[in-house]
Amino acid sequence: MTAETNNETPVEESVDLLTPGGFLQKEREEQKLNEKEVATKLRITRSKLAALETDSYDQFPGETFIKGYLRAYSRLLKLDEDAVLQRYFDYVSAHSEVSQLITPSRPQGVVSAMAVERMKTPISPLVWIGFIALLAIVVVWFALQDSASTANVDETVSVAEQVGQAVTETQVEGALDAENLATESAQADPVVQPDQMVAADDVIQPSAPQAVETKRAASDVQAAGALELRAPDRLELQFADECWVEISDANGDVLATELQAAGSAITLQGKAPFNVMLGNVKAATLALNGQSVEVTPKGNNRALRFVVGSSNQ
């Protein structure tokens, strides 16, 4: 474009100030052509030619046509087409307010803009928004899942306690046969799973001091509860497979942080509630003060962190 404007400089100074229409009209008069001749050659009506020469561009059905007519006109007068079009662009950008909205498209400018666009291909803001949204969803999902799993454990713990109580009550009634007890408790509460029956079995193994203690507790459940508040709580764990264990009690004392071998069992004493973290939930069997605690793993996670003996104790 600059080259074209330089080409114009040999023409008189005043010519530079002329509008495209005025410039064409002046050139036409210099070449001694009348309007009728030009209109016939351009195949447009005389009113259109007059509109072109007076820069009344709103009479044309679109910029494409204006530019086309200007080109044809300048070709007819043997003028530089691009120079005339440049005048038109300058005129439009200077005079018409509407043109601010519909900026005339300059072919060369368009091409260079395209070249620039081809060079840089930015990641659209939409992609960024998508990423942020995805990240937010993931964070929220994890947070929800975490809280849901602890709530679930609390529920299962309380359910297990109720089952444990049912077991001790049946003991009070004098039904000492372990097998019968297990089946009865299973009938009493269909929630109890077969593996829990095993747990109930373990609880009522006839180890002497334990039996004494359970009987004492059974004599008066409430009194026993009160006693247990004072006495240190006992958490028993048995492992069918290797399992990492981290347990701390209500005072914050760490009772165990170690890997337990398959088939091992540990008994810990401390103040309930216990914060328990198990590396392999399925392999572990828990009992709090002789009452078995059922722990259901959440989803496919093997590891689980939960609290035992929080509400009722």
* Contact call for residue 56 and another protein (CB under 8 A): no
3-state helix, strand, coil in the chain (%, to 5): 60, 15, 30
* Contact call for residue 118 and another protein (CB under 8 A): yes
Looking at the Cβ atoms of 69 and 306, the one nearer to another protein is 69
Looking at the Cβ atoms of 62 and 299, the one nearer to another protein is 62
Backbone angles phi and psi of 100, in degrees to 5: -60, -35
* Contact call for residue 67 and another protein (CB under 8 A): yes
Backbone angles phi and psi of 178, in degrees to 5: -60, -45
**d(C-alpha 60, C-alpha 64), whole Å:** 9
Paired with 274 in beta bridges are 308
Q: How many CA atoms lie within 13 A of 8 on its CB side?
A: 20
- Could you say which of 1, 11, 113, 136 contacts another protein (CB under 8 A)? 113
Burial classification of residue 242, based on how many CB atoms lie within 10 Å of its CB (0-12 exposed, 13-18 middle, 19 or more buried): middle
- Could you say which of 2, 17, 32, 43 contacts another protein (CB under 8 A)? 43
| Closest approach of another protein to the CB of residue 41, in Å | 10
Query: Tokens representing 23?
Result: 């410039």
With beta carbons less than 8 A apart as the criterion, state whether 115 and 261 touch: no
- Could you say which of 123, 125, 205, 222 contacts another protein (CB under 8 A)? 123
Query: Tokens representing 280?
Result: 């392999």
**d(C-alpha 154, C-alpha 310), whole Å:** 8
Looking at the Cβ atoms of 121 and 300, the one nearer to another protein is 121
- Could you say which of 20, 21, 27, 44 contacts another protein (CB under 8 A)? 44
Amino acid identity, position 308? V
Stretch that binds another protein, among 87-95, 114-122, 138-146, 303-311 (CB under 8 A): 114-122
| Closest approach of another protein to the CB of residue 93, in Å | 16
Looking at the Cβ atoms of 44 and 203, the one nearer to another protein is 44
| Closest approach of another protein to the CB of residue 42, in Å | 6
Measured from the Cβ of residue 272, the count of other Cβ atoms closer than 10 Å reads 20
Paired with 284 in beta bridges are 239
Looking at the Cβ atoms of 29 and 117, the one nearer to another protein is 117
Stretch that binds another protein, among 29-37, 102-110, 224-232, 243-251 (CB under 8 A): 102-110
- Could you say which of 5, 64, 93, 183 contacts another protein (CB under 8 A)? 64
Residue numbers of the site for another protein (CB under 8 A)? 42-45, 48, 60-65, 67-69, 71-72, 105, 107, 110-111, 113-114, 117-118, 121, 123-124, 126-127, 130
